[in-house]
Amino acid sequence: MKVVILGCGRVGATIAATMAREGHEITIIDRNPDSFRRLANDFDGKKIIGNGLSEETLQKADVEHADAFVAVTNGDNRNIMSVQLAKVRFKVPKVVARIYDPIRSSAYANMGIDTICTTCVGAGVIHDKILGKPYSAVEEYCQFGLDDKVLEAGND
Amino acid sequence: MTRKTPMYVIIVGGGKVGYHLSKALTREGHEVLIIEKDRKTAESLIGEFGETIMYGDGCEIRTMTEAGMGRANVVVAVTGDDEDNLVICQMAKSKFGVPRTIARVNDPKNEELFQQLGIDQTVSSTRIIFNLLEQQIETGQVIPLAALKKGEIEVVEADITTTSPAMGMKIGQLDLPANALIISVIRDGHAIIPHADTKLRAGDSVITMIKAEREKELRAIFTGEEQE
């Protein structure tokens, strides 16, 4: 698979290194070249320095030929905007955005964007671990702790 | 102008744009609320605007709910970050059903994307200023006034001077490029609808509709400049 990853933080670097080792063709983008130090020494993918919200950078990363685009920067809104850019402008078939804010994550999931709310997933897994409960599916964890009242906010 | 029904307008971003917009809308009788996420900026605005300033992150559902976004007629996102403006407008629409969302676009390249993503209107100050400057520095006294059909057709204005080849000629005698149409001649501050016998004088401004790629030929006729 040809995968482009935006954001070389801990999560981005881990996905990049693992998938490269599995034989996938990986390109990783970060605006700060220092971030690439997190990549494993044997990482043989492409590294691109640039702003993931600019079409030029995504073009440089050859996003238009990617099978998947993953946005894991520290900014929820950056991730949301860049996956929409990849999806709408570059027609990438599979896009995934990591979103910390549970509400934003579920709102964009409803709009048809694949989102992972690591806040909810982390909280849910810890919750089940403490109580000794069997683990659930990621989709269920993505809803963990979400209050219906909050979800329906604005309809009052 | 007739007075319109007052609207409830939520402005996200209390910078210069948000500040002046809020003042203008309030003056026109609309109800305005500014959401600002920087505490210092918010506090300095509260001194002037009082309760119409809310301190909070306009991307957070809690802030949006508290601001009464459900009853807003318009949400305007004018922060300095395009990604924030996009998310504010998309959330306002999908979560609160706000009928009209307007986003400021800091990078003019994002305008088309934002429109594709459902934002009702975009405003790019960079593009507006650029267009104005471009018109000012346009050489050869042929000034583009408007672009139609995505720039394929242009409406241009050319000043006739004493050195113009067209000076003293009748419109019917001009060797105009194909598909060029003279719409009007501005003479002594009045617009006249010209005909084939209208004679061009120095000081006239000629408004012409033309295919963009033939503008240079037109320039040669009206101003006498060599074609590149």
Residue A155 has pLDDT above 70, yes or no: no
* β partners of residue A69: A4, A95
pLDDT tens track for A86-140: 999 999 999 999 999 999 999 999 999 999 999 999 999 999 999 999 999 988 8
Q: Compute the nearest-CA separation of A76 from chain B (Å).
A: 9
Flag residues of chain B having pLDDT under 50.
Answer: 1-2, 139, 227-228
Q: Which chain A positions have a beta carbon within 8 Å of B113's beta carbon?
A: 84-85, 88-89
pLDDT at B7: 93
Q: Got the DSSP string for A98-139?
A: E-S-HHHHHHHHHTT-EEE-HHHHHHHHHHHHHHTPPP--HH
CB atoms A88 and B113 under 8 Å: yes
Which tokens in the block code for residue B154?
């242009």
Taking CB atoms and an 8 Å limit, are A154 and B90 in contact across chains? no
DSSP B177: P
Question: What number of C-beta contacts closer than 8 Å exist between A and B?
Answer: 66
C-alpha triplet B196, B199, B203: angle, nearest 5°: 135
Do B86 and A78 make contact, defined as CB atoms within 8 angstroms?
no
Q: What is the pLDDT of residues B27-40, one digit of tens each?
A: 889 999 999 999 99
Q: Any residues with CB less than 8 A from the CB of B35 and at least 6 apart, and which?
A: B10, B11, B12, B13, B14, B54, B56, B57, B58, B63, B67
Architecture of domain B8-129: 3-Layer(aba) Sandwich (3.40)
Indicate the pTM of the whole model.
0.73
pLDDT score at B78:
94
- CA B141 centroid distance within chain: 23
pLDDT band at residue A68, thresholds of 50, 70 and 90?
very high
Domain positions in chain B are 8-129, 138-223
As a whole number, the mean pLDDT across chain A is 92
Instruction: State how far the Cα of B85 lies from the Cα of B105, in Å rounded to an integer.
Output: 8
Asked whether this chain's domains B8-129 and B138-223 adopt the same fold, the reply is: no
Write down the residue that tokens 């104005």 correspond to: B132
pLDDT of residue B133: 64
CA gap A155, A146 in Å, rounded: 16
Q: Which residues of A touch B114 (CB under 8 A)?
A: none
pLDDT tens digits, A36-63:
999 988 999 999 999 999 999 999 999 9
The structural domains of chain A, ordered by start, are 2-98 (3.40.50.720)
Interface of A with B (CB under 8 A): 53-55, 75-78, 80-81, 84-85, 88-89, 101, 103-104, 107-108, 110-111, 150, 153-156
Test A81 with B91 for CB contact under 8 angstroms. no
Burial class (CB in 10 A: 0-12, 13-18, 19+), B16: exposed
Q: Could you report the predicted ipTM of this complex, rounded to two decimals? A: 0.89
Q: Just give the CATH number of B138-223.
A: 3.30.70.1450
